[in-house]
Amino acid sequence: MSLIEEIRDTLVVGNAPKVAELAEKSLGEGGAALEILNEGLVKGMDIVAEKWKNGEYYIPNVLIAARAMKQGMAIIKPKLVEGDYKAKAVAVAGTIKGDLHDIGKNLVVMMMEGAGFEVIDLGTDVTAEKFLQTAKEKNADLILMSALLTTTMMSMKDVVNALKSSDLAGKVKTMIGGAPITQKFADEIGADGYAPDGSSAVECAENLL
């Protein structure tokens, strides 16, 4: 088994220190950071997403694997920045205004990062102004919104409307999700995409681009 395959499989079982160690070893042996990313870390997260989809993995497995992904990324990031690595797209993520639930949003952020997106995570209780201002500053392609409360989900509409009447209209796509959110609701408020979970969020974002 190659070192890159070992990184991939170690990520799948969520052994973060080992992933970091193997990534360092690979770089030390002249391995390319981009190959470690695409063939090791991202491939590993693809396997994790698949296992989650078919019920073999549960949320803790995904969170543990995502942590391993983060540690691997921390090792290779300086090398990636030196090279001409470009993230697939830039997304601004957050839980909507008034809502403090962030477990699902964090999972979506991790899956997106695992799939090669750059995600600026604004945390929870994020206003429409903050979403738009950050999207503008970071030249983002996507705004990702999460809501867990029926009382806060309507605020997603404020972001969609504010975006539509701003100079970012047509440039930035919106994707929404969270336990009370449905495709029907996304259509009603005019969001560009909806995903029921983390792995379909990645697919949805890729389709929107």
Residues lying near ligand B1M in the complex (CB under 6 A): 59, 98-105, 107-108, 144-146, 148-151, 175-179, 195, 197-198, 201
Q: Are the C-beta atoms of 20 and 72 separated by less than 8 Å?
A: yes
Q: Which residue has the tokens 């990534």?
A: 23
Helices 103-114/59-82 angle, 10° precision: 40
Tell me whether residue 99 is one of the annotated catalytic residues. yes
Of residues 10 and 146, the one with the C-beta less far from ligand B1M: 146
Q: Would the CA dihedral through 143, 149, 152, 153 be positive or negative?
A: positive
In this chain, which residue has its C-beta nearest to ligand B1M?
104
Task: Pick between residue 116 and residue 178 the one whose CB is nearest to ligand B1M.
Answer: 178
CB of residue 76 vs ligand B1M: minimum separation in angstroms? 26
**Catalytic pick from 155, 192, 199, 200?**
155
Q: Among the options 99, 121, 141, 192, which is catalytic?
A: 99
Is 155 tagged catalytic?
yes
Cα–Cα distance measured from residue 181 to residue 164, given in angstroms and rounded to the nearest whole number: 20
Task: CB nearer to ligand B1M: give 32 or 98.
Answer: 98
For residue 197, indicate whether it is catalytic: no
Q: Which is nearer to ligand B1M, 22 or 111 (CB)?
A: 111
Could you tell me which residues come within 8 angstroms of residue 106 by beta carbon, excluding any fewer than 6 positions away?
A: 63, 121
List residues with catalytic annotation. 99, 101, 155
